[in-house]
Amino acid sequence: MLILTIWPLFALICLGYVLARAGFPEPGFWPAAERMNYFILFPALLVASLMKAPVRDPAILKLGAAAIATVCIASLVMLVARRIRGVPASRFGPALQGVVRFNTYLGLAIVTSLSGPEGIGRAAVYLAVTVPLVNVLSIMALTEANALRDPLGLGRAMLRNPLILACIVGIVLALSGIGLPFGGGTFLELLARGSLPLGLLCVGAALRPVAMRKDVVALVGNGALRLLAMPVLAAGVAALFGLGATEAMVLVVFSAIPTAPTAYVLTRQLGGDGTFMAGLVTAQTLAAVATIPLILLLLGIG
């Protein structure tokens, strides 16, 4: 049953890859579609989901704390390993992102398939907490923490992130209880419906199998940490925090999915090893076809 729930999501990723390699509809379509989703459709989904989420619920607060704990524990382990091995920032940045960042489109699609509106509301809260955190950690890793010397600049960079802005707006609307008048909520929901399928198609279009030819050992090791060790860590943290079934499922799913394709863009912008990052994204996405059903089955989720 779990396979039947998840395989259409990976089928969309495969379709995006095939369409992009076939040049359909045209090469310029995919960057434009990704920007449309990143700046408009996906933020609409976050606002529409967060404004209805019970953000004052203690269970939601525990989910947020568990999410922070999971990401911080994984980051600390990666930092200790870096100190031992002496890895430069250009390589450590992609490696950290390969472990702590996540493909939001795939995560939300899986959560929606498994638990519907309740799950997507919890997932939106998870994103509101973790998106700013993993972005700051990624920037610090790629810049040797030099970004901390300019906190105002770092803050401005975070506030230019449409996902972070959407999370802020959604939480404010949820806390105020005012909603969006004159059919504004319906407008956002209509925009949101196109986000996940388009996002999964764009994930497929962005895959770069040629990037996996180098650093095979590093790709396998990083993928094992992300796709196998992270969800096990998340399950342990969920038990420690006493999360409910839906909250634990959200935490584990977002810890079991591959890293974010947008990590490649950030890596290139900050002078990291772009080829290594592209290889991580591609290798993890391909491996996740097998690891996600396996992990969810072993952990009794779904």
pLDDT of 147 higher than 80? no
Every domain of the chain and the residues it spans: 2-201+213-298
Residue 10 has a pLDDT of 95
Lowest mean pLDDT among 38-42, 96-100, 154-158, 251-255: 154-158
How confident is the model at residue 158, as a pLDDT?
Answer: 84
Torsion sign over Cα 116, 121, 124, 125: negative
Element containing residue 88 per DSSP (H, E): none
pLDDT at 1 over 80: no
Q: Is 149 a residue whose pLDDT tops 80?
A: no
Quickly state the pLDDT bin for 130 (edges 50, 70, 90).
very high
Average pLDDT over the chain reads 93
Mean pLDDT for 213-238 is 96
pLDDT at 166: 94
Q: Return the pLDDT at 228.
A: 98
DSSP annotation of 179? -
Backbone angles phi, psi at 266, to 5 degrees: -60, -40
Looking at per-residue pLDDT, the higher value among 195 and 302 belongs to: 195
Q: Which residue has the higher pLDDT, 3 or 189?
A: 189
Predicted pLDDT of residue 293: 94
For the cut 70, the answer to whether the pLDDT of residue 43 exceeds it is yes
pLDDT of residue 132: 93
Where does residue 281 rank: exposed (0-12), middle (13-18), buried (19+ CB within 10 A)? buried
pLDDT at 160 over 90: no
What is residue 229's predicted lDDT score, i.e. its pLDDT?
A: 98
The dihedral region occupied by 116, where left means phi > 0, alpha psi between -120 and 50, and beta the remainder, is left
Instruction: Supply φ then ψ for residue 147, to 5 degrees.
Output: -60, -25
- Has residue 164 got a pLDDT over 70? yes
Residue 230 · residue 255 · CB < 8 Å: yes
Tell me the average pLDDT across 138-158. 83
pLDDT, residue 36, reads 96
180 pLDDT tier (thresholds 50, 70, 90): confident
Q: Which CATH architecture has domain 2-201+213-298?
A: Up-down Bundle (1.20)
Helix orientation angle between 42-50 and 104-142, rounded to the nearest 10 degrees: 100
Residue 54's pLDDT is: 86
**Residue 263 banded pLDDT, cuts 50, 70, 90:** very high
